[in-house]
Amino acid sequence: MEKIKQWTISQCKNKSRPNPIRMSPYNLTCSLIWVCYVKAEAKVNEPGKSLGEDPCYFGFNAGGIATLYYRIPTTHFGNCTGFARCLATWDELLGEDGIVVAANVIGSKVKEPDREILGGAEKWISDYEVFF
């Protein structure tokens, strides 16, 4: 995990870009998995074909019990998770900075629920269809 983090930091520094918003182990792991999946998928589908600006999605659950805008009683038993969906293009993820792109997109999305973890919950199921 530390090697991925240091590689990401050095890539950002070499290209004079800011580091991703959140460099947590969760963010970096998701970024690596997303990029590896995209590279494997690109080789299986049509090797050599550029998928270009086509959208590529990554979905995950984001915890939010500590970030809700109202207090949860200390006696609460349960969790509070929200659904997050990230978007990048295939070319961005397949490029040499794919992990940096993924970490930025995922980090931004993880930060988003800080104010409203359950925002848009009524559309989570229909939004999920985009993955298929």
Q: What is the pLDDT of residues 86-117, one digit of tens each?
A: 899 999 999 888 999 999 999 888 766 555 66
Q: How many structural domains does the chain have?
A: 1
pLDDT tens readout for residues 81-90? 777 788 999 9
**CA separation for the pair 54, 18 (Å, rounded):** 25
Q: Select from 36, 29, 71 the least CA-distant residue to 56.
A: 36
Task: Name, in order, each residue with C-beta under 8 angstroms of 112's C-beta and a sequence gap of 6 or more.
Answer: 84
The 3-state secondary structure of 83-104 reads: EEEEEEEHHHHHCCCHHHHHHH
The domain containing residue 16 runs over which residues? Answer: 2-131
Q: Which tens digits make up the pLDDT trace of 23-64?
A: 888 889 999 999 999 999 887 766 666 678 888 989 887 766
Q: Residue 87 maps to which CATH number?
A: 3.30.559.10
